[in-house]
Structure 1
Amino acid sequence: MAELLVIRHGQASFGQDNYDVLSDLGHEQARAVGALLRDMDWVPDRLVTGSLKRQKDTLSSMGYSEAPEVHEGLNEYDFGDLLNARFKGEVPDLVKGDRKTHFRALRETVFEWQDAAFNGASETYAEFTARVEDARQFATDTDAKRVLVVSSGGVIGQMTSVAMGAPKRQMMTLNLQVKNTAMTRFMFSGKSFSLHEFNATPHFMTPNGTKLLSYS
């Protein structure tokens, strides 16, 4: 069996004009998980990311200088676009600026997106699930035994829920649990694909490491 290790990007810039930029904490988180993998002598045979800057920069800060393969199916769904579509361009200020309110509204919005309860989003939920599955197949169609992927919370939630055979709502429940630079591990061989470990952060399990924990 081969391993697919999917790591969520480091903390990005919530509430800033450009979310797709790692914060200083995000770079620290990436360095910590990269150091852990080296300490474990876990050497990837293949590197894959989405096309987002925060994903590629996470891989770089982990200490991998080799250019990764890129598959856009690993990109996060556009949560700003979904909120705009649901609220018809009038997203409440509290939803945009307050973390608790934002993620509560995002959860409800994704559930409505899954049910096709509003129009105007640039991507349907069916299109999202199809591209994530395409990316999973791309990452596992290989002779490599250790594939390292850097992606985002929604993609990880979707990939995990499908591997578990869970209802579609589980995707968002898992999405909101995924910590920055958490590791989710799958085993694969041919058409076999199974979850081995979800949302692991051993690199945070020290007195200093606990200061690096974040979810957004």
Structure 2
Amino acid sequence: MAELLVIRHGQASFGQDNYDVLSELGHRQAEAVGALLREINWVPDRLVTGTLKRQRDTLSSMGFSKGEEHSGFNEYDFGDLLNARFKGDIPDLVSGDRRAHFRTLRETVFEWQDAAFEGASETYKAFCERVEAAQKFATDTDAKRVLVISSGGVIGQMTSVALGADKRHMMNLNLQIKNTAMTRFMFSGPSFSLHEFNATPHFMSQARSELLSYS
């Protein structure tokens, strides 16, 4: 069996005009998970990221060279989903209050899954299909250790499918995933199974516990 280690990107710039930029904390988180992989001698045979800057920069700050890219590992566009759901009139509270933001994120994704609004640039069905294509791309290889840098929604979707769970479980998992958390799958041919979810051993020491974040 081969391993697919999928790591969520480091903390991005929540609340800023350009979210797709790692914060200083995000770079430190990436450095910490990269250092852990070297400590345990986990050397990837293949590197893959989405095309988002925060994903590519996480891989770089982990200490790895540029990997292959597949856009199927990109996050869904929450801003686009909000615009479609609220028809461009997004409540101010959504962007100004963290609790309201994540409550609205959950509700919006559930409605997106149910095709309850129109106008989004990507349907939930299309999202599922591209994540599946990205997974197949990453595992169609002779490599025994594949490292992927992706995002919470994608990891939630991959995990939910591997568990055979219903579609709502994708979002419940998405909201749990910590920055630079490691989710590990085992694969061999068509066989694909979850081995470990949302692990952050690189934050378990007292010195590094302050690096933990969810957004």
1:50 aligns with 2:50: yes
In 2, distance between residues paired with 1:116 and 1:97? 27
Equivalent positions of 1:167-206 (< 5 A) are 167-206=166-205
In 2, distance between residues paired with 1:180 and 1:115? 28
Equivalent positions of 1:13-32 (< 5 A) are 13-32=13-32
What amino acid does structure 1 have at the position aligned with 2:172? T
In 1, distance between residues paired with 2:154 and 2:207? 29
Q: Identify the residue that residue 35 of structure 1 maps to in structure 2.
A: 35
Q: Identify the residue that residue 160 of structure 1 maps to in structure 2.
A: 159
1:129 aligns with 2:135: no
SS in 2 for 1:215: coil
Deviates more, 1:88-97 or 1:32-41: 88-97
In 2, distance between residues paired with 1:127 and 1:214? 29
Q: Identify the residue that residue 71 of structure 1 maps to in structure 2.
A: 70
In 1, distance between residues paired with 2:133 and 2:152? 17
**Identical positions, percent:** 81
In 1, distance between residues paired with 2:152 and 2:43? 23
Q: Identify the residue that residue 4 of structure 2 maps to in structure 1.
A: 4
Q: Identify the residue that residue 61 of structure 1 maps to in structure 2.
A: 61
**Which segments of 5 or more consecutive residues in structure 2 lack a partner in the other structure?**
none
Q: Give the CA deviation at 1:98.
A: 1.1
Kindly report structure 1 stretches of 4+ aligned residues shifted beyond 4 Å: none
In 2, distance between residues paired with 1:167 and 1:175? 14
What amino acid does structure 2 have at the position aligned with 1:2? A
Q: Can you list the C-alpha shifts for 1:78-135, whole angstroms capped at 9, x where unaligned?
A: 0010011111101111101211100100100000000000000000000000000000
In 1, distance between residues paired with 2:84 and 2:175? 21
In 2, distance between residues paired with 1:90 and 1:106? 15
In 2, distance between residues paired with 1:39 and 1:91? 46
Q: Identify the residue that residue 148 of structure 2 maps to in structure 1.
A: 149
Q: Identify the residue that residue 115 of structure 1 maps to in structure 2.
A: 114
In 1, distance between residues paired with 2:152 and 2:10? 11
In 2, distance between residues paired with 1:97 and 1:22? 20
In 1, distance between residues paired with 2:135 and 2:21? 25
Q: Can you list the C-alpha shifts for 1:4-48, whole angstroms capped at 9, x where unaligned?
A: 000000000010000000000000000000000000000000000
Aligned length, in residue pairs: 215
Q: Can you list the C-alpha shifts for 1:122-154, whole angstroms capped at 9, x where unaligned?
A: 000000000000000000000000000000000
Q: Identify the residue that residue 139 of structure 1 maps to in structure 2.
A: 138
In 2, distance between residues paired with 1:105 and 1:74? 23
Aligned-pair RMSD on alpha carbons? 0.4
Q: Identify the residue that residue 104 of structure 2 maps to in structure 1.
A: 105
Q: Identify the residue that residue 210 of structure 1 maps to in structure 2.
A: 209
**Which segments of 5 or more consecutive residues in structure 1 lack a partner in the other structure?**
none
What amino acid does structure 2 have at the position aligned with 1:161? S
Deviates more, 1:186-195 or 1:83-92: 83-92
In 2, distance between residues paired with 1:51 and 1:99? 26
What amino acid does structure 1 have at the position aligned with 2:2? A
What amino acid does structure 1 have at the position aligned with 2:139? T
In 1, distance between residues paired with 2:58 and 2:178? 14
